Structure 1
Amino acid sequence: MPIQLPPIAPDETLEEVICQAFVQPVLYALGFGDRDIIRSFETGAGTVDFAAAYPCADDPPFGDTQKQPYLIVEVKPPAKRSRNTPSQTVPLSLEEGTAHQMRAIAQLKEYLFGPNCQSTQWGLITNGRHLQLFRRHGIVIYPVTPSLEIFPQGMPGVIKQLKQWLQEPPRALTVSVYNNKGGVGKTTTTINLGATLAISNQKVLLIDFDSQGDLSRSLELTPTETCLSQCLTEGDRDIYQTIRPFNLHIKSGQRVKTAHIFDVIPADSHLDHVILQTAIAPDQGMTQLREKIKPLQNDYDYILIDCPTQWLFFSKSGLYASDVVLIPTRHTDLSSLNNAARVIRQFIHGEMRQCRQDGGPLALPIFFNGAPNTGKAIEVAQTEIQEMIAKSSELIPYFWPQKRMGQDNRTVFNLPEYAIIARAAFARVPAVFKDKRVLGFYQNLVTEYFLDIADSNGDRP
């Protein structure tokens, strides 16, 4: 069946026309058959227009079971009747950044979290003029394409791109920990987040992408014979050869048990030379890290990149390589809040998305790193946030993610910090293994941002 572009018309059946003449052929082209597709699927959080799942040899077709689709599709009309002039139509654009697109994305996320979509990995929104694909990894939902404008001659390329994502998805979620402000605990967060994910049975890789090497020193790890800087400047180097395991040594009576926690690519002393090399060969610029770690994305559940503070080559490369960005701030340091806003608006929504042209990376909501739940400092920080949001409302979901229409919830996630965290750095052990309180804090962080720990059996040390 050819993929058609339905005409925009002030017709109440327009959405149905898009479903039949556009979405259905797209699903066929993506490899779904009639028995793999359901119209009007109940997610448990509302009814989505389409749900589909690829057939499995040992299972009955999805159309028969109607359980846990692989992909859901929400269809929107490109226009609606004008209230003031019923004979005219009002455009409903899904272009990047429009209010209609934001509402459609919010609705898609609600559906993806519905009880009948617990294992659903993909969501698509379209109005026949634009479409955008989103991936779900744990509880993170992020774009893997920009809002693509559809033209008949470009559909084969779009289908090829979507099909590759759906049929060959990477295993890992790649996360940069970054703020354009020092002293907010980026390295400590990276180490303890990685350890907590590992405790939750996730396979984790940490990348120390700061030439100062604080993360590597904290874990007492040195570069291998093949180091990261060589991989970025010499095309024949094997990225796997840069990886070192981090093991925890546990004394039990007279015996010492060794447990593997996560893997690390340490920083090396030649990382600064990479900047000179990329100046000589611009084609080996900030895209290099992303290209080099692609083979690793099928070996890990999470790849965490510890980025330096300055918005220069290494931090740009780290964000360019990431699916999402985790932004720690200090409630006692108002400049860290303002810098976080700058990271979101100027670096992520501006420079990175212009460079990548794929809708990413996604900024996760900020959190207070080392904050009490109440107090004067929290009140001052909230006042500062309120003033920033008054100037730029686009910051609301990143500073007050629980704020909804009619619900003035201004909660910012707090990660308490005690001296035990700092002391653990001298012990060369993640703090989550030194104090159960700290482990609880970071388990809350993981549950807030990445996965439902209740679904992960934490039987590791």
Structure 2
Amino acid sequence: MLLTDWHEILDNILPDESNEAYISDIFVRPLINALGFNQKEHLSEFKTGNGIVDFAARKNIDSDIFALSRIYPYLLIEVKAPATGAGAKFNLSEGTPQYINTREQIKRYLLASKCNTSQWGIISNSVHIQLFRRHGQVVFPATPSILIKKDNINAIISHVKHLIDNPPKALTVCIYNNKGGVGKTTTTANLAATLAQQGKQVLVIDFDPQQGDLTKSLGLQVGKISLYDCLSDRDLNIHDTIQPFTVKFKSGKSLQFDVIPADPKLGNFTEQDLATRIEKGSARLKDSLKVFMYEYDYIFIDCPTSWMFFSQSSLYACDVVLIPTKHNNLASLDNAAKVIKELVPKVKVARQDGGPIALPIFFNGENITPPQLKIANQEIVSIITRESKASKFNLLPYFYPKYIKADSNTTIFSLPSYAIVAGAAFARIPAAFKDSTAAKYYLELAKEYFIL
């Protein structure tokens, strides 16, 4: 649409008088058209299988007219009114109760049974607009919640349309807890192996140059071009840092995922040195990985525990943060809370693009007795209560993701203890590649968080 059209539309929206139907007609339908969907490529009141979303859209495919077939939606849009009666504004700015409820609503729709093909979701009340991306089981922000103005409406629509028309292939995951000994490296290697077994293209980045445990566990070494070389010199090709990790089985079948090994050179510099030598500092890694977004299905980043350049860069570069904990290590639970309520929001403010988000915690690799689980749950309830009172931050969805008012479900996904997992490092092969039981456990973890 023309610039003057959008100016006129925004002029006609009176927040204290406009209802949802009016916003749908005057703002959302022109938005759908501007995003490239014609009248036969969108419909209203789409039944997702878990509620009714206001609009759904998809390009027609040959004789499959979406408005008639009503199957395989690509984009979902949930509309809210600027006012909900008596002049009470429906506020979609981030952090408000209305925003949180609407965000969870679009996530629920995107993950519903009739929306497996959906990759994008939008929430808007004509005052704010936000785009969400779905990748497998994960829904996360592709933009922040943006305040709409006359001088930015065209740029917003252009950016959203570009993203929708060019969906990245990869989900970037940082495995992190601000506490050591929780099995970050083992989780990274075995998730990579498991997803490779599922036919996914996987890249792993060992961004812990001082330890380099993941690189060592796979028996790999840095090539002629290292990660530090590429971070400090934009003219180098980061593809040259990749070392393929391949396992050949007795059957003749082989499986592979790619690795960017830990670069010991990075560990020789102080934080100040790195800030000086690497343009854009902790934001540089994210820029470097952009070339991989259309090549891989998953990019995993293994980083150090301490909150320093490498962990900051890793969180800055990722879409989501996966947080392993130990039920019998109460410090790991406290530090998981710190990651969720403090570190992730800090990076989110720095990025200003909606990400990253934290995924719910899981217990990593320990056998749990009922008395031990009771103690862990007591600690978790204490953490949730403390933070709710102190900072008004709601940690409940991150510790008990299945908890709802109608069902006080406090289940936390638990990866069982299994001796072969620890011993696999000596074989230089992830346990998920060499043992069927370990493969089963890590497939369950992948299904819990990532794949359908």
TM-score, structure 1 as length reference: 0.92
Distance in structure 2 (CA, Å) of the matches to 1:439 and 1:356:
36
Provide Cα deviations, 1:48-101, integer angstroms capped at 9, x if missing partner.
111111244x343322322111101000112222xxxxxx32222111011111
Whether 1:367 aligns to 2:384 is no
Provide Cα deviations, 1:128-176, integer angstroms capped at 9, x if missing partner.
1111111110010011111111112210110111011101111000000
Shift of 1:249: 3.0
Residue 434 of structure 2 aligns with which residue?
434
SS of residue paired to 2:293 = helix
Q: Identity over aligned residues, as a percent?
A: 46
Provide Cα deviations, 1:321-359, integer angstroms capped at 9, x if missing partner.
00000000011110000000000111002x111101111
**2:377 maps to which of 376, 382, 385:** 382
Distance in structure 1 (CA, Å) of the matches to 2:422 and 2:368:
20
Residue 100 of structure 2 aligns with which residue?
102
Distance in structure 2 (CA, Å) of the matches to 1:177 and 1:420:
21
**1:316 maps to which of 309, 312, 319:** 312
Q: Which amino acid aligns with 1:159?
A: I
Shift of 1:282: 6.6
Distance in structure 1 (CA, Å) of the matches to 2:184 and 2:89:
43
Provide Cα deviations, 1:181-209, integer angstroms capped at 9, x if missing partner.
11000000000011111111111011000
Q: Which moved more, 1:224-233 or 1:364-373?
A: 364-373
**2:343 maps to which of 309, 327, 347:** 347
Residue 71 of structure 1 aligns with which residue?
75
Q: Which amino acid aligns with 1:363?
A: A
Distance in structure 2 (CA, Å) of the matches to 1:269 and 1:414:
34
Residue 13 of structure 2 aligns with which residue?
7
Provide Cα deviations, 1:357-396, integer angstroms capped at 9, x if missing partner.
1111010000000233542222111111000111224101
Residue 224 of structure 1 aligns with which residue?
223
Residue 260 of structure 1 aligns with which residue?
255
CA contact (8 A) 1:420 1:434 kept: no
SS of residue paired to 1:152 = coil
SS of residue paired to 1:41 = strand
CA contact (8 A) 2:202 2:257 kept: yes
How many pairs align? 439
Moved over 6 A (4+): none
SS of residue paired to 2:190 = helix
Residue 457 of structure 1 aligns with which residue?
none
Distance in structure 2 (CA, Å) of the matches to 1:362 and 1:322:
9
Structure 1 spans left out of the alignment, 5+ residues: 82-87, 453-461
User: Mapping of 1:10-25 within 5 angstroms?
Assistant: 11=17, 14-25=19-30
Q: Which amino acid aligns with 2:13?
A: P
Shift of 1:250: 2.5
Distance in structure 1 (CA, Å) of the matches to 2:132 and 2:165:
14
Residue 391 of structure 2 aligns with which residue?
none
CA contact (8 A) 2:71 2:114 kept: yes
Cα RMSD of the aligned pairs, angstroms, is 1.6
Shift of 1:316: 0.5
CA contact (8 A) 1:368 1:413 kept: yes
Q: Which amino acid aligns with 1:34?
A: Q
Residue 242 of structure 1 aligns with which residue?
241
Shift of 1:296: 0.9
Shift of 1:420: 1.0
User: Mapping of 1:200-219 within 5 angstroms?
Assistant: 200-211=198-209, 212-219=211-218
Whether 1:188 aligns to 2:186 is yes
CA contact (8 A) 2:282 2:316 kept: yes
Q: Which moved more, 1:69-78 or 1:242-251?
A: 242-251
User: Mapping of 1:11-410 within 5 angstroms?
Assistant: 11=17, 14-56=19-61, 58-81=62-85, 88-211=86-209, 212-251=211-250, 257=252, 259-273=254-268, 275-281=271-277, 283-349=279-345, 351-393=346-388, 394-410=394-410
User: CA, structure 1 residues 379+61, in 2 after alignment: closer, same or farther (shift >3 Å)?
Assistant: same
Residue 424 of structure 2 aligns with which residue?
424
CA contact (8 A) 1:203 1:302 kept: yes
Residue 84 of structure 1 aligns with which residue?
none
Shift of 1:8: 3.7
Q: Which amino acid aligns with 1:403?
A: Y
Q: Which amino acid aligns with 2:66?
A: F
Q: Which moved more, 1:272-281 or 1:314-323?
A: 272-281
Q: Which moved more, 1:130-139 or 1:389-398?
A: 389-398
Distance in structure 1 (CA, Å) of the matches to 2:13 and 2:263:
58
Distance in structure 2 (CA, Å) of the matches to 1:181 and 1:363:
16
Structure 2 spans left out of the alignment, 5+ residues: 389-393
Distance in structure 2 (CA, Å) of the matches to 1:9 and 1:354:
28
Distance in structure 1 (CA, Å) of the matches to 2:192 and 2:279:
32
Provide Cα deviations, 1:230-279, integer angstroms capped at 9, x if missing partner.
00011111010001111113346xxxx46132110001211125645433
Q: Which moved more, 1:274-283 or 1:403-412?
A: 274-283
Distance in structure 1 (CA, Å) of the matches to 2:370 and 2:42:
53
Distance in structure 2 (CA, Å) of the matches to 1:268 and 1:414:
32
Q: Which moved more, 1:281-290 or 1:183-192?
A: 281-290
